[in-house]
Structure 1
Amino acid sequence: MTKTTKTLLLGIFFISMQAVFAQGSPDYKGGLKVKFDEDGKKYLRIISWAQVQAGYNNDAAATSSKTSFNLRRARVLMFSQINKKFLLLTHFGLNSLNSSTLSPTGTGTGSQLFLHAAWAQYNLDENHSIGGGLHYFNGISRLNNQSTLNMMTLDNNRQSWATIGLTDQFARHVGIFMKGKFGKLQYRIAINDAITNGLDARVPVADGEIAYAGKNLLGSKDAGKAYAGYFDYHFLDQESNFLPYKVGTYLGGKKVFNVGAGFFLHPNGSALMENGNLVGEDVSIFAVDAFYDAPIGDDGSAITAYATYQSNDYGANYMYSAYGTGSMVYSHVGYVFSGDNTKTRYQPYISYASNSYDATSNNRNILGLGVNAFMSGHNSKLTLEYKNQDYGTSTSTVTLQAMIYL
């Protein structure tokens, strides 16, 4: 056995790397890291996770079962460095595999793994980096940059991923980015190519009709680029910005208070029919938010709180699926009961979102009530959530999710 092989085999070990990968877990010490040299400057880091759900929907159609099962996420993320100047990250997996998206031989589109992200990064110095590829350095708000490993609520607030599938591939754009910090101020900015064949495949016909399909209908010269940025000031403990994924709750592991603001701009992103001609409509989304996470006393209890206001302009009276021109307020708060990390800890929470749209007088109001049971921090947890959506009619669901990540 060669020295290199011995080093590789002996280099597979569990070590602590960042707080973002070890919130509140007594067992998880950073996960799997393959070290290619003695001092660990050359390495490969591997993370995998799965979220499995059982749901009950009392408002399901008469021909449908009220209960269902769903593989919400199954992912693998890998990143590596040959030295401190370079980083390469890849992320692949699948989402929402259920009885409707399964295929007999596993060859259907719903059963397939796809590339969530792949980017290369060059570190200019300890505080600033540039890079490019299929990336997740998004603008707008903290929730538009949310990690799916450590959310406090069952899932992210849907409308906070404000461009998902409309101008990106599952919240990732192909483009270039720059990220870093000046003291307590962190930033991320990006210039991206907008997707050509987005979810909104409508073609406006009558005057006043609009679709988020500017690049497809007007061409890449007029509607090809989108611009994004997010800036947050860290008043207390400094969060890591090594990777773009924002932590949902630290379970009292840090004392964090951040205030942020962000934007997304897509000139001529939408196409509007006006006097028989298609014209471009700029898409502009802005948000401000605040995040607080801190222990309470010395008994292990902790609070997590978040609030955001978001202004959405997809063009005049735009509406498609969950998205529309208007505004959104969203907030959630959770409390971790006292206890130590060697035992199951519980975190009840509440979330509320109110979305208003220019095209309709109906607001979309969403209330969530849930509880997390952390058996080993975020690495092994159960989440039970009741959610009610009032949007003209009222619908309610109850979901139980089991999650493990390594």
Structure 2
Amino acid sequence: MKKIILPILAIAIGLATPALAQQTSLTETAPESKPINELKYNLTPDGSKYIKATFLNQVWLRWNQSNRGTTVNGDLQDNTIDIGLRRTRMQLFGQLTDHIFFYTQFGMNNFNAMSQNAGNRKFQVFFHDALGEYKVFKDNDKLKIGAGLTITSGLSRFSQPSIGTIMTTDVPVFLQATVDQTDQFGRKLSLYARGQLGKVDYRIAMSDPFPVQTNGQTAPTLGENATFNTFGHTKQYQVFFIYNLLDKEPHTTPYMAGTYLGEKNILNMEGGLIYQKDATAHTNNGVDPIYDDMMLWSVAAFADMPLQDNKYALSAYTGYFNTDYGKNYIRNNGIMNPANGNIDPTNFSGPGNAYPMFGTGESIYIQVGLRLPNNMLGNQGTLMPYASYRRSSYDRLDDAVNVYDAGINWLINKHQSKISLNYQLRPEFVQTANGDVVSDKKLSSAWIQYQIYF
């Protein structure tokens, strides 16, 4: 046994010695080194070439007032309380050379007691992003060409959000317009170009959308209202432009920040579109399909800036969105839905917390928040109250969709550790005997989120 163990120990000591020597050298040359606040390995002394890893976990404890007729595994429930992982993600990315960048993201979403994929709760973790990118000019960001599975989108900044930095606990999901229908949780296989030309930030992409029948759910049947097309296959084209009136936003990854907490002086005008020929279909006679093109476009403004010598920080966004999916398209959706059934024949919204989230029509979305003084709570951080409002007028509905959110972030350590409380008021839609779809009443939800982001 000694003949086996001693050589192994010798090899282990030999391998460890250079690493220990290097660690000692670093300690001796930098005895007052700064505490580590990121998982980053520099490939060059100046840090311009690197590999970086991040981890994010968002845990929710939520109370929800159920839509009429809601059941949980067959049991009628007026309200529910659930615990869930809204998002759990790991990123690995880096600048390998002057020109070569890669980005990957792995994780899961909406994992609570009702979670399942094809009947199995274990099938939740997947690659969100996997792309390679070529930076054409090594000294600037004028042009980057990339391809792979990517969030790069044309509709809005909230269609490609940095979810670790969002202000309002959750993003306006209706702006992830085809989520889990013809994409993989907002990501698509794309060839794209992005960059910054002076004050203009641009993204242009050709995407190869997934057929809707591969999303793990029953494929939609052809009817009088548009649904995503199951026949044929067409490409999707996306463009998005931002004009930076003040500071430029970072351009490392395609993701866009929710709030910088006053660490930048941002004022942007934004606009974009997504187009796909024959994306949806409907029928007038129950037999022959009529194909509809999908055209989604938006204009918006975003401000995120310090106030009163950085004592406070303002974050605000307002946008207009025109979403034409095809004739009377509507899709109900409930975020991390706590229920899985409904027995009320007049219910239109669906079970649990679902409501008409996506549709053909027009929408406005507004959010505003104020970061209070950084030293407000001493070494326990500060607070950031916020509110948001969304109004959508969809062709198929007789009433508008109005969603109100208000809450407060306790920024214990900026976005790295924060506790958020959110209250939401959403509509419940019912279908009348004559076929009208109307908003019957408002229902409430409230949740506490704890986020760790490192």
What TM-score comes out, normalization by structure 2 length?
A: 0.79
Is residue 2:148 matched to residue 1:133? yes
Judging changes above 3 Å, is the alpha-carbon distance between structure 1 residues 377 and 278 closer, same or farther for their aligned structure 2 residues?
same
Percent of pairs with identical residues: 30
Q: Contact 1:374/1:382 (CA < 8 Å) preserved in 2?
A: yes
For 1:371 and 1:174, the matched residues in 2 are separated by 36
Query: In the TM superposition, what are the counterparts of 1:7-406 in structure 2 within 5 Å?
Result: 31-59=38-66, 61=70, 62-63=76-77, 66-101=80-115, 108-109=120-121, 111-125=123-137, 126-127=140-141, 128-198=143-213, 201-205=219-223, 208-213=224-229, 216-217=230-231, 219-220=232-233, 224-275=234-285, 276-298=287-309, 300-321=311-332, 322-340=357-375, 342-391=379-428, 392=439, 393-406=441-454
For 1:238 and 1:319, the matched residues in 2 are separated by 37
Judging changes above 3 Å, is the alpha-carbon distance between structure 1 residues 255 and 40 closer, same or farther for their aligned structure 2 residues?
closer
Give the 4+ runs in structure 1 shifted more than 6 A. Answer: 2-5
Q: Contact 1:8/1:36 (CA < 8 Å) preserved in 2?
A: no
Give the Å deviation of 1:6. 3.5
For 1:110 and 1:9, the matched residues in 2 are separated by 42
Give the Å deviation of 1:109. 4.3
CA deviation map 1:195-215 (0-9, x unaligned): 11355821215xx332112xx
CA deviation map 1:162-215 (0-9, x unaligned): 12122211100001010001100000010010111355821215xx332112xx
Give the Å deviation of 1:229. 1.2
Unaligned runs of 5+ in 2: 1-13, 27-33, 71-75, 333-356, 429-438
Judging changes above 3 Å, is the alpha-carbon distance between structure 1 residues 390 and 65 closer, same or farther for their aligned structure 2 residues?
closer
For 1:166 and 1:346, the matched residues in 2 are separated by 37
Bigger Rg, which one = 2
For 1:377 and 1:182, the matched residues in 2 are separated by 31
Give the Å deviation of 1:290. 0.5
Give the Å deviation of 1:158. 1.7
Query: How many pairs are equivalent?
Result: 381
Judging changes above 3 Å, is the alpha-carbon distance between structure 1 residues 235 and 342 closer, same or farther for their aligned structure 2 residues?
farther
Q: Contact 2:247/2:266 (CA < 8 Å) preserved in 1?
A: yes
For 2:23 and 2:89, the matched residues in 1 are separated by 26
Local SS of the residue matching 2:163? coil
Local SS of the residue matching 2:154? coil
Code of the aligned partner of 1:203: T
Judging changes above 3 Å, is the alpha-carbon distance between structure 1 residues 58 and 166 closer, same or farther for their aligned structure 2 residues?
closer
Judging changes above 3 Å, is the alpha-carbon distance between structure 1 residues 29 and 187 closer, same or farther for their aligned structure 2 residues?
farther
Q: Contact 2:51/2:96 (CA < 8 Å) preserved in 1?
A: no
Unaligned runs of 5+ in 1: 14-26
Code of the aligned partner of 2:424: K
Q: Contact 1:201/1:211 (CA < 8 Å) preserved in 2?
A: no
What TM-score comes out, normalization by structure 1 length?
A: 0.88
Give the Å deviation of 1:42. 3.8
For 1:4 and 1:187, the matched residues in 2 are separated by 49
For 2:296 and 2:304, the matched residues in 1 are separated by 26
For 1:156 and 1:169, the matched residues in 2 are separated by 17
